[in-house]
Amino acid sequence: MFINVAIVSALAALTSAIPGAEDTKTNYFTAIATHSGDHRIHLQQINASGQKFYLIKGTSTDCPQAKEIDCSKYVNSTVFDSRSDGTLYLHVGVPGGQQVYIASGGALVYTAPHSANIPDDGQAATFTHTRPTSSGGLGTLVFDNKGFVACPVKVDHYYAYQLYAWIPKFNGTFRTDCDGFGFATSAYSGPPAWEFS
């Protein structure tokens, strides 16, 4: 019970820290990793950066300094947009959007701004977002009815965790330092980022 309260509290704090965030029934959500047996990744925010997803590495967004775009209306937070056809996007203002997909080696990645290019061996469908059953509750995200793993990677002078889908091409046999985790989600209704770099 304590763990559930801690998870809900962490997501509530994350969502309330984002301008305009509210708990509504939209397809937009923020996310954290849940793994009660691993203090390194448990309750860490899931962030988009450099066309990949990480724990313990900040979100990387851009907004052009053009007079027709008011960058103050956009956030520097990772927000997802789940679609009914099993696809997943980032919540962005940039025309064309940015789609989330699984790269051939299993990495959870996203398309570059202004490009819908997904490699032929990338997998963009079969994401399933289950919304919370109660107000203030948590939802979940899976890919092809399987979970995700976090693997340590050196970033500058520290270690972050890069995220992968648990798919046949990533079966964990070549790495022993990765940990499975739950992809816990919290509804979001605030503004998007302009684009993720």
pLDDT of residue 130: 96
**Helical H segments across 23-139, by residue range:** none
CATH code given to domain 2-196: 2.80.10
pLDDT of residue 133: 86
The burial of 152, by beta-carbon neighbours within 10 Å (0-12 exposed, 13-18 middle, 19 or more buried), is given as middle
Domains of the chain: which residue ranges? 2-196
pLDDT of residue 167: 78
Show the tokens assigned to 43: 């309750």
Q: What are the per-10-residue average pLDDT scores of the chain (197 residues)?
A: 46 45 63 94 98 98 92 97 96 96 94 94 94 90 94 94 84 74 96 97
pLDDT of residue 173: 54
d(C-alpha 171, C-alpha 184), whole Å: 22
d(C-alpha 195, C-alpha 49), whole Å: 11
- Contact by Cβ (8 Å): 182, 147: yes
Tens digits of residue pLDDT in 136-162: 889 999 999 999 999 999 998 999 999
To the question of pTM greater than 0.75 for the whole model, the response is yes
